[in-house]
């Protein structure tokens, strides 16, 4: 429960410099007699950008608006202009040709406008390609020439004690470089609802560094800076976290392809393998995830997995615990084939299975799908578990709030939306794109039980 007493500040990380940091030298530095990592910084800092976010929020209520005496003299609430809120963060160019910029989800999640400023002071409006709250990764795109991308490293090759450099935009001051070491790897428990495998580093943390780059001394990007822990709301205590670049790139690829992250699903409820559980189950393994129950009809059920089985590997990669298994499965796509290694009655066995659709973490409710247009509606990609799979293309209404505008119009859970205002849709992102440019009534072309129908949501 220690984490309950700690304030997790999503302000990303800068890293405290110290005299023991490994140095890179140049001829110029040798002539001056000053050790330096300046050549490293010069090679990568053009790829780190500043991100400015504008969010519009409804005006705050005041007692005047609730006092009947003043009502005749005040404009209606819906005529009061929204308040504009400004915030700042950082990002990293990972594809110069396409203009892709990685940052944190929490930097842009409430954005109405996003502006990216390069180190050479050029500034561009950014398109939000997609975001994934579960990993705190978002992907932006800018249209610009002569961009610089950072070389990509492999976070699987990292060791505790490796020296690293962080580059970001603290307090909106502009490009700032700090340095430190990797303090730990594979950290979890920071966001239990997410997919965690954080790189921990000692850090002088400052607001605005979120989404910045964590770089090795050979100039490779190995993490996207994302969070700190500060006891009792205090300042930095040298505990900062970055999303490993391998995880960030997995998310990026799906955001480019789908505009969201589609996750595989095994169909089990799991818990960590403890010493007591291992003894009770007769298992000699020290790490793994114990299956508490198996959902009927899921890939795990069809593969013969049972409660009490201990999953120790996925595709040959060791499973450290329940969070690790959740990450390994959740970062795979639906329909991916995986090999599960498990122990039952002391015997090591394997099962090959194909993952089901486990949902997406693209926000699919009021604030994301066309604003208020589909308030109370959750959408998901059409997959083979739906009866309409293979016969139509569209998105599925996975949940709908009773009494919502869409429910009153006749939309139901399980409906497949194939077009919005006569424009075909295949992904949730398609629906969002069309609705954000739509005012007035909305016409949904829907397939239900093999029948085609038109549902109109009137304004």
Q: Which two tokens stand for residue 164?
A: 């690293």
117 and 67 share one domain = yes
Residue 149 lies in a domain: no
Q: Among candidates 28, 185, 12, 17, which has minimal Cα distance to 106?
A: 12
Instruction: Name the DSSP letter for residue 127.
Output: E
Helix (H, G, I), strand (E, B) or coil at 126: coil
Regarding whether 189 and 274 lie in a shared domain, the answer is no
Kindly state whether residue 197 falls inside one of the protein's structural domains. yes
- Round to whole Å and give the CA distance between 64 and 71: 8
Report CA-CA distances (Å) from 290 to 239, 264, 339, 438: 30, 19, 16, 49
* Owning domain of residue 325: 263-358
* φ/ψ (deg, to 5) at 289: -125, 125
Q: Structural domain tally of the chain?
A: 4
Q: Is residue 148 part of a domain?
A: no
130 token code pair = 């997609």
Q: Both 34 and 117 in a single domain?
A: yes
* Separation of alpha carbons 419 and 401, rounded Å: 21
Which of 305, 339, 358 is the last residue in one of the domains? Answer: 358
Distant-in-sequence, close-in-space partners of 241: CB < 8 Å, separation ≥ 6? 13, 187, 190, 198, 199, 200, 201, 225, 226, 227, 228, 229
Q: What is the pLDDT of residue 415?
A: 92
Residues 382 and 354 in one domain: no
Q: Is residue 147 one of the residues assigned to a domain?
A: no
- pLDDT at position 79 is 54
State how far the alpha carbon of 238 is from the alpha carbons of 173, 183, 241, 244, in Å.
Answer: 21, 9, 10, 18
Active site residue 136: yes
Residue ending a domain, among 93, 117, 141, is 141
The H-or-E segment that residue 258 falls in is: helix 245-258
159-191 pLDDT per residue, tens:
999 999 888 887 777 788 888 898 999 887 766
pLDDT above 70 for 364: no
Q: Please report, for the domain that includes residue 416, its CATH number.
A: 2.30.42.10
Note the pLDDT tens digit of each residue in 33-65: 778 888 888 889 899 999 988 876 655 555 555
Are 179 and 238 in a shared domain? yes
Name which of 145-149, 216-220, 255-259 the model is least confident about.
255-259
Residue 277 in tokens? 């559980």
The helix or strand, by DSSP H or E, that contains position 116, with its residue range, turns out to be strand 113-117
Whether 291 and 306 share a structural domain: yes
Catalytic residue, candidates 45, 136, 324, 430: 136
Q: If we measure between CA atoms, which residue out of 234, 241, 195 comes closest to residue 359? A: 195
Same domain for 276 and 348? yes
> Do residues 164 and 126 share a domain?
no
252, containing H or E segment: helix 245-258
CATH assignment of the domain containing 174: 2.40.10.10
Q: Which residues pair with 92 in a beta bridge?
A: 48, 102
Q: Which of 109, 141, 173 is the last residue of a domain?
A: 141
Of 45, 46, 106, 188, which is the active-site residue?
Answer: 106
Q: Please give the pLDDT value at position 386.
A: 82
| Cα–Cα distance for residue pair 218/211, rounded to 1 Å | 20
Q: Which of 90, 204, 210, 322 is catalytic?
A: 210
Residues 333 and 390 occupy one common structural domain: no
Based on the residue annotation, tell me whether 87 is a catalytic residue of this protein.
no
Give the single-character DSSP code of 36.
Answer: B
Q: What angle is formed at CA 97 by the lines to CA 96 and CA 99, rounded to 5 degrees?
A: 60
Q: Does residue 150 lie in a domain region?
A: no
* Residue 251 and residue 269 in one domain: no
Cα–Cα distance between 286 and 151 in angstroms, integer? 37
In a domain, 146, yes or no: no
Within this chain, do residues 35 and 179 fall inside the same structural domain, yes or no? Answer: no
Q: What whole-number distance in Å separates Cα of residue 40 and Cα of residue 396?
A: 48
**Statement to judge: residues 322 and 253 lie in one domain:** no
| pLDDT, tens only, 416-452 | 999 888 889 988 878 877 887 777 778 888 999 888 8
Question: What's the angle, vertex CA 265, arms to CA 259 and CA 268, rounded to 5?
Answer: 155
Instruction: Examine residue 175 and state whether it is found in any structural domain, yes or no.
Output: yes
The model carries a pTM of 0.67
pLDDT band at 367 (very low <50, low <70, confident <90, very high): very low
CA-angle at 417, arms to 416 and 420, nearest 5°: 175
Give dist(CA 2, CA 130) in Å, integer.
33
pLDDT of residue 104: 93
**Residue 42 host element (H or E):** helix 38-44
């Amino acid at each position: 429960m220690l984490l309950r007493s700690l304030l997790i500040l999503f302000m990303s990380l800068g890293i405290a410099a110290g005299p023991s940091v490994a140095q890179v030298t140049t001829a110029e530095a040798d002539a001056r007699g000053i050790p330096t990592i300046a050549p490293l910084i010069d090679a990568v800092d053009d790829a780190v950008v500043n991100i400015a976010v504008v969010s519009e929020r409804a005006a705050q209520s005041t007692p005047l608006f609730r006092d009947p005496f003043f009502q005749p003299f005040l404009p209606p609430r819906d005529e009061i202009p929204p308040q504009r809120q400004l915030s700042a963060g950082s990002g990293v160019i990972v594809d110069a040709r396409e203009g892709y910029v990685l940052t944190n989800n929490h930097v842009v999640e409430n954005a109405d406008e996003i502006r990216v400023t390069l180190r050479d002071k050029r500034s561009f409006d950014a398109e939000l390609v997609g975001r994934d709250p579960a990993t705190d990764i978002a992907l932006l795109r800018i249209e610009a020439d002569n961009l610089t991308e950072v070389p990509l490293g492999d976070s699987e090759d990292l060791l505790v004690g490796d020296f690293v450099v962080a580059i970001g935009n603290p307090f909106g001051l502009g490009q700032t470089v700090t340095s430190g070491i990797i303090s730990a790897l594979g950290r979890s428990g920071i966001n239990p609802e997410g997919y965690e495998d954080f790189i921990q580093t000692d850090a002088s943390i400052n607001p605005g560094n979120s989404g910045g780059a964590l770089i090795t001394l050979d100039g490779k990007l190995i993490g996207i800076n994302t969070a700190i822990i500060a006891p009792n709301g205090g300042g930095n205590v040298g505990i900062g976290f970055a999303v490993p670049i391998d995880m960030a790139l997995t998310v990026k690829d799906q955001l480019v392809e789908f505009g969201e992250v589609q996750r595989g699903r095994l169909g089990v409820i799991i818990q960590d393998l403890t010493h007591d559980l291992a003894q009770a189950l007769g298992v000699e393994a020290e790490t793994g995830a114990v299956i508490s129950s198996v959902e009927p009809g899921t890939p795990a059920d069809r593969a013969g997995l049972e409660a009490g089985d201990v999953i120790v590997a996925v595709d040959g990669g060791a499973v450290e615990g329940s969070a690790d298994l959740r990450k390994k499965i959740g970062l795979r796509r639906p329909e991916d084939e995986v090999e599960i290694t498990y122990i039952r009655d002391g015997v090591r066995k394997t099962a090959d299975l194909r993952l089901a659709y486990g949902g997406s973490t693209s926000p699919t409710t009021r604030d994301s799908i066309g604003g208020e247009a589909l308030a109370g509606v959750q959408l998901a990609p059409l997959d083979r578990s739906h009866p309409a799979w293979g016969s139509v293309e569209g998105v599925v209404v996975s949940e709908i709030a009773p009494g919502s505008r869409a429910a009153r119009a006749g939309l139901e859970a399980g409906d497949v939306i194939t077009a919005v205002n006569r424009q075909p849709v295949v992904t949730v992102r398609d629906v969002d794109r069309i609705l954000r440019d739509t005012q007035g009534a909305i016409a949904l072309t829907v397939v239900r039980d093999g029948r085609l129908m038109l549902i109109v949501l009137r304004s």
